[in-house]
Structure 1
């Protein structure tokens, strides 16, 4: 047993004025690391003294992602405490008024949800770990998207009761998109109705991943006492006020058979994927702990396997084994393949041209600098730009070049983030995640040292699905209103705003009602701007359903040079329902080649506003087959107008239709309310995909038009006595019903008539 008084004395001493601020973290980490992590099989020595001397093989860049309310932020709080990064544990919406470390925004602490991803760093068993805690709500999915873009590994947190939920599927798709290896942590095994082994099966069935537990709980629900490491065959109990003392004991006799069963299943699954383990397994040779761990690591890094940990972050159970798993199984920056595009000169058809060539990056501090700006934030000292350094070294005072703009800028300050706190650093090397001040750029820009032209692939950005008309209540704050909107759009690529030229209203667009409500509240708190918001407007789209020919001649004579341009062809549904396509099939010089781009520009301009409801047109292909031109009067303006008018004439004849956004909706409710909730979804034109009963909990998955989802949260709370919750995610645009289509057309025509 450790001497608690000695520990408290030590901590108090290092909080004193005799220890400088910038040293306290390292000293505290050393004390907690050596006292509280006695069970770890990994070395506890701390040898890092500078970025250059640090071993990149020990570095881990990890994201913590999950469905909303699965316990990500609570888990991150424990990780920071056990690693010595923080001295006290605070809860989400804690009674002490402080809230969790990573939820540093006042709005996050009030609502009890994560809104912005937050970065921090810590040490565990001599391994530096950069952590990004991401939001779980689908409205803030861009925060998860850009975090996973720059991370080498991830922890997928799942609820032992809810299991693999809708946002779990979304997060998994995002991890697949960026090829991010992951471990899973099944949290809340202390909750009533917890069944972690059902969740493991869901990982296999719903995510289509090979997954098996490497840790199992000792007891479930209120009988949770600890966990068992089935690889090392050890029972781990978490003692002390915050579970900081990990005590190893023999496996309880009643669980020995269960442990052997799970260990055998684990070995069999690994043997299915790894030849070396398969050979030993088939020849009935003993597979050592080290061999099994090495095989699991190789399969995890290669995206073939997910090791599963279990516990309860809130009850301080099972977090330290997860930290060991992060170090043991997730890749270092050298094990994650990253590529960039480099401009090189090549001879093509006798001409020397610049082409983009993919280049695999080498995460070495001695290579040419390549870094990606993945997140922007306006702070107290100006724009804060989060960077992931992929190769080379970035130093304070260096000049770096923005590959997109070609501008050279100086790095005045370089910091490492801990939630909203900053630690000054002199340099960041390959594999690091850092932040710089005073560098103007856009999210997704690549920065280099100017010695070569590199460009990294940017982040996937989903389209906004909902809009609001907003205006400040008083004219005096109009400047702050514009500043706030500009800042928010720069920070968040899924937040858009524009001024409607007809209604003169300011329209903001985002991923959902909560997304826009948060920005309106931030505008009030951070800029003192009270806003009036109109009814939420759904982003409908227009399209065509059949092929229609067009033949239009634009001819205008004004005394001098006239306008003359004729276009002939057809419009039809495009193979890509999300985008418009222009095809040039003109043979000869019926239309001069230099004027063809003007026809395309006119077509795309016409698609910006459809004739049925004024919404954007998508999923249309325009094929230009012939035309007419005049040697004097033909111009870009004439052909652009001809294309616009030709499209407007052909569109009403091409079977125009209105598309509405369809949402994937997942509702979690007590089973007793299942019938009422299903009926309510049907009344909202929902299509029920599944309704699964997990004892006291039912999970309903449905597809529902976004237009019908307004006010659903209030209705759900009313139907379920406040016990129900739901999430929704954009799926696709789909043709709406004739009734809704007619209603929207009449509304648009009425608005147009009132404006005349």
Structure 2
């Protein structure tokens, strides 16, 4: 396969704007499938996971290929719902071009804007497709005009013939030719409707001007003659698309296959091949020397894993984009990220959930490899005699967290094992064990994301889990010094128990931890019993006295005590130490500490006031604001973690999904008295209101 004949195209856009239907129509036009699948019928090539069929949305990127005009086109159908943006990142790494799909009746909405930002951040050559032209209230030119604030401003290269139910074809503004389409979406030239002739001329001018502006010589010719040849315009458009200075707009109605063949023609003519993409800087992981890869089959093997799936029955499939060299079945590979050997077993070209056997995969092409042992998404596969590591895929930080547990307590280990496997598939999913609260915390991109994780866990691994708001990992400390003396004495016939100690405690600077000092001079407590007192003190430190959370940053000194020749025992001194520690802490003005997070929120200018008000209501302290471009503002704040668990949902509501944020742990800080009392009361209630003696 000649890499010049390959096009790797990612489809992005708002959920329900018809990306999957459009991709399905292209497969049908290319003859890859013999029927036109529909998402609402659950029979598409791209949406095959049960969770996708149930929700009628794409949850993961699906890949399939077709042949058109002797070119291989790999389509990567990405999720439109923001909870699943991780798969979009992987797809964009595998693609040299993109289709931004927009609904003709809904126009430019949140998902459109977010997809545009992702594409522009990578300067990925893009075509805009105004889909669903057959729907009620469809308005192609209104949708085109809605992009007027975008940069670079998209320019129409097609005009529709008819609208809504009367949408029957398209006019190529470049050639002034009109096309109708057969049932499979293949174009057939027809006469240009007379009532469109004047509009075609007026709409053509911005297209020719945009093409002329890509080259000084063309611009000079255009200014002198007022016209360019079709070949000159096509070449200039392709040059502008590749440079990211021109974004052509086309129209289609995927469910009727109208506009599909001309869209495929535009993909072949205007979007770049893998060979036209910029060279890639790789690194030899053993020497750390840089090496430039020119995306040629003759070059050293380098392939990036951009997606991983795992199934108890099908097994593990790693989807790779071969950047350089040639990949063949049985190749002895090196996972350059982990410096571990791998072997390429079955290799195939993806067609939805299936793999069509491949004898070789050349630079620029996409394939699936089954049953790799140590390889994860983002890793580089190379040859063992020429190790190369490609730049990793960048993923957004997780923004939503929940405590996860098994519905059946006996399944806790199974749930954790299943989650580990799901984390292995999904780079935007992480699992951690919170040492203070003893909870398993799963971090993802949103509530829907985590709901789907539980559904997959049940379907794939047969265990059910439940989600809850995580407990806050509070800490406790003291604010003054205190002294306590406790004696543990028990006599019940025979040998008794005796332990007696005197301690004092004092606060130390935040972050110091626990300091133990033995200040006994002489033998009031024998040396062998003193560690027992310390163990009792440490146990109280771990359990706390207010909310069951650990005590921190305290210096404890063992000052005095006494023993009994017969009844002195380790357990008695341990209990005496615990009792003394508890009493001393209660007298040393204990307080509750909470984790404070550094939060950065990227928010549209018009929503900034509402977001700041929301953060203030969450006991946040605004640290600053600064412009971030594209009518966005960055708000910096410090906010208690306890207030952040709902923030993703609140932010989505305030900004209609346009806002995003990151947060990192900053420090622990004393909880205000009124808030602390609420936490303490809730803890006591959960313990049945019982007070320890």
TM bucket (normalised to shorter chain) is 0.7 to 0.9
Residue 180 of structure 1 pairs with residue 124 of structure 2: yes
1:334 to 275, 281, 296: 275
Alpha-carbon separation, structure 2, partners of 1:749 and 1:403: 51
Measure how far apart 1:665 and its partner are. Answer: 9.1
Residue 377 of structure 1 pairs with residue 324 of structure 2: no
Residue 80 of structure 1 pairs with residue 27 of structure 2: yes
Residue 196 of structure 1 pairs with residue 140 of structure 2: yes
Provide, for residues 220-278 of structure 1, a one-character-per-residue CA deviation record: whole Å limited to 9, x for no partner: 22332221111111111224xx3535331221111111100111111112222322321
Q: Secondary structure at the match of 1:294?
A: helix
In the TM superposition, 1:151-300 aligns within 5 A as 151-206=95-150, 208-239=151-182, 242=183, 244-284=185-225, 286-300=227-241
Distance of aligned partners of 1:506 and 1:731 in 2 relative to their CA distance in 1, 3 Å threshold: closer
Provide, for residues 298-320 of structure 1, a one-character-per-residue CA deviation record: whole Å limited to 9, x for no partner: 11111111111112212322111
Off by >6 Å, runs of 4+ in structure 1: 536-540, 549-559, 611-615, 680-687, 701-706, 709-716, 740-744, 751-756
In the TM superposition, 1:253-652 aligns within 5 A as 253-284=194-225, 286-343=227-284, 354-357=287-290, 359-379=291-311, 380-439=313-372, 440-535=374-469
- Is the 8 Å Cα contact of residues 465 and 661 (structure 1) preserved in structure 2? no
- Is the 8 Å Cα contact of residues 466 and 536 (structure 1) preserved in structure 2? no
Provide, for residues 463-494 of structure 1, a one-character-per-residue CA deviation record: whole Å limited to 9, x for no partner: 21121222112244344312320111111111
Query: Greater shift after overlay, 221-230 or 515-524?
Result: 221-230
Alpha-carbon separation, structure 1, partners of 2:155 and 2:264: 17
Measure how far apart 1:707 and its partner are. Answer: 5.6
Measure how far apart 1:749 and its partner are. Answer: 5.4
**Structure number, greater radius of gyration:** 2
- Is the 8 Å Cα contact of residues 96 and 273 (structure 2) preserved in structure 1? yes
- Is the 8 Å Cα contact of residues 121 and 128 (structure 1) preserved in structure 2? yes
- Is the 8 Å Cα contact of residues 185 and 258 (structure 2) preserved in structure 1? no
Aligned-CA RMSD value: 4.2
Residue 108 of structure 1 pairs with residue 30 of structure 2: no
Measure how far apart 1:733 and its partner are. Answer: 5.2
Alpha-carbon separation, structure 1, partners of 2:274 and 2:71: 13
- Is the 8 Å Cα contact of residues 65 and 134 (structure 1) preserved in structure 2? yes
Q: Secondary structure at the match of 1:497?
A: strand
- Is the 8 Å Cα contact of residues 466 and 538 (structure 1) preserved in structure 2? no
Alpha-carbon separation, structure 2, partners of 1:165 and 1:111: 21
Alpha-carbon separation, structure 2, partners of 1:666 and 1:220: 35
Provide, for residues 93-129 of structure 1, a one-character-per-residue CA deviation record: whole Å limited to 9, x for no partner: 21xxx43220001110111100010111110111011
Distance of aligned partners of 1:418 and 1:733 in 2 relative to their CA distance in 1, 3 Å threshold: same
Hey, what does 1:597 align to over in structure 2?
A: none
Residue 132 of structure 1 pairs with residue 76 of structure 2: yes
Measure how far apart 1:437 and its partner are. Answer: 1.6
Aligned residues between the structures:
560
Provide, for residues 80-105 of structure 1, a one-character-per-residue CA deviation record: whole Å limited to 9, x for no partner: 000000011121121xxx43220001
Provide, for residues 409-458 of structure 1, a one-character-per-residue CA deviation record: whole Å limited to 9, x for no partner: 22121111111011111221111111112212121111111233321111
Alpha-carbon separation, structure 2, partners of 1:237 and 1:142: 38
Alpha-carbon separation, structure 1, partners of 2:220 and 2:68: 34
- Is the 8 Å Cα contact of residues 399 and 444 (structure 2) preserved in structure 1? yes
Alpha-carbon separation, structure 1, partners of 2:256 and 2:511: 72
Alpha-carbon separation, structure 2, partners of 1:551 and 1:74: 56
Unmatched runs of 5 consecutive residues or more in structure 2: 475-508, 520-545, 551-590, 618-631, 636-642
Measure how far apart 1:686 and its partner are. Answer: 11
Q: Secondary structure at the match of 2:255?
A: coil
Measure how far apart 1:214 and its partner are. Answer: 0.7
Distance of aligned partners of 1:459 and 1:468 in 2 relative to their CA distance in 1, 3 Å threshold: same
- Is the 8 Å Cα contact of residues 684 and 708 (structure 1) preserved in structure 2? no
Provide, for residues 508-562 of structure 1, a one-character-per-residue CA deviation record: whole Å limited to 9, x for no partner: 121111101111111222222222322478999xxxxxxxx99979987779xxx
Alpha-carbon separation, structure 2, partners of 1:539 and 1:290: 66
Hey, what does 1:731 align to over in structure 2?
A: 661
Alpha-carbon separation, structure 1, partners of 2:91 and 2:347: 19
- Is the 8 Å Cα contact of residues 613 and 744 (structure 1) preserved in structure 2? no
- Is the 8 Å Cα contact of residues 465 and 539 (structure 1) preserved in structure 2? no
Alpha-carbon separation, structure 1, partners of 2:425 and 2:244: 31
Provide, for residues 578-619 of structure 1, a one-character-per-residue CA deviation record: whole Å limited to 9, x for no partner: xxxxxxxxxxxxxxxxxxxxxxxxxxxxxxxxx99999xxxx
- Is the 8 Å Cα contact of residues 651 and 660 (structure 2) preserved in structure 1? no
Distance of aligned partners of 1:90 and 1:453 in 2 relative to their CA distance in 1, 3 Å threshold: closer
Unmatched runs of 5 consecutive residues or more in structure 1: 1-53, 346-353, 541-548, 560-610, 616-651, 668-676, 688-700, 717-724
Q: Secondary structure at the match of 2:149?
A: helix
Measure how far apart 1:189 and its partner are. Answer: 2.4
Measure how far apart 1:185 and its partner are. Answer: 0.5
